Amino acid sequence: MNAATEQLSLLATDEPAHQPATDAVRLLLFNAQHASPERSRRQAEWIASQEDADIAVLTEVSSTQGGDALVAALTERGYAALVAPQPSTPDYRTVIACRTSDVRPVPSPVSVTPHRAPAARVTVGGHDIGVLGLYVPSRGPKDQRNVAKRAFQEAVTEGLPRLHATFPDMPVIVAGDLNVIERGHQPPHKVFGDWEYTFYDSFQAAALTDVYRHLHPDEVVHSWFALTGNGFRFDHLFVSTPHADRVLACDYHQEARKAGLTDHAVMTLRLGLPSTPGGHGEAPATSSG
């Protein structure tokens, strides 16, 4: 990304509620639901209070006042570096916020609307980690049904294999709201086409492991609910397959959704670093949200 579309905020910050860990990557995935400035500030307060939010990947962030308020509030609450791409025309975007300042934005591997797919190299405990955030467009209005969604998904599928060259010899985390479900999803939803399931499959083909499913192979969980009450697992966390056994925990949490801060469940990830005892395969501690 060029300087016009990529911001790296390194402003003076308040004392953070939690200090960043040095023995594990603690990442939180949060859908901002194009919040108003007032709700964005409440979202930032909640995120900053979470221990597992050393790296926060925020999807569906507006490109207007609400998104600006969220970025500013996170900075004020101890997030020393934010990768916050600004689209050239109004659109949703994805933001990566980090409690550590040792963050280097890298060009997005996604060529279509890259403001929805920022990437960064983050140093945690002396170890480099690659992070890619994703916010896949929804199905869109009737006259443009699935046009933007297909284009973005195709660009992601093309870009995923390049991640391992962008982040060589280090764990890679991909976090986002994909607006698709996995094959075998319970309950099944006939609205999704094979091209959408193929998109989900492209992560495994690019040597990325769905770590929630890796740890919870049979668990039925949903991260978004339609007005009918039907549940969908739209939000996902992937880790480079060679590092998947270092995952200590990956869970969904419904508290923020039930409190009205967002309409999605929050996801958390703990990834052990090489110095972490048991980080190479000790039975992970889990607690479903």
- Tell me, what CATH number does 161's domain have? 3.60.10.10
**Mean pLDDT lowest among 107-111, 136-140, 253-257:** 136-140
3 part of a folded domain: no
Q: Based on the structure, what is the number of domains in the chain? A: 1
Q: What is the pLDDT of residue 35?
A: 95
257 part of a folded domain: yes
15 part of a folded domain: yes
Q: Which of 198, 92, 188, 213 is nearest to 154 (CA)?
A: 198
Query: Which pLDDT band holds residue 287 (cuts at 50, 70, 90)?
Result: very low
54 part of a folded domain: yes
Query: Which pLDDT band holds residue 145 (cuts at 50, 70, 90)?
Result: low
Tell me what the mean pLDDT of segment 184-210 comes to: 86
Tell me how far apart the alpha carbons of residues 3 and 85 are, in angstroms, rounded to a whole number: 9
Give the other-Cβ count within 10 Å of 183's Cβ: 11
Distance set, CA 197 to CA 159, 163, 180, 192, 203 (Å) = 17, 21, 7, 8, 11
The more confidently predicted of residues 187 and 87 is 87
88 part of a folded domain: yes
Residues spanned by the domain of 102? 8-272
Which tens digit of pLDDT belongs to each residue from 9-43? 434 445 556 899 999 999 999 999 999 999 999 99
Q: What are 224's strand-pairing partners?
A: 232, 264
* Burial class of residue 229, CB neighbours in 10 A (0-12, 13-18, 19+): exposed
Beta pairing, strands 266-272 & 247-253: antiparallel
* Burial class of residue 184, CB neighbours in 10 A (0-12, 13-18, 19+): exposed
Q: What pTM was computed for the model?
A: 0.88
252 part of a folded domain: yes
Average model confidence (pLDDT) for the chain? 87
165 part of a folded domain: yes
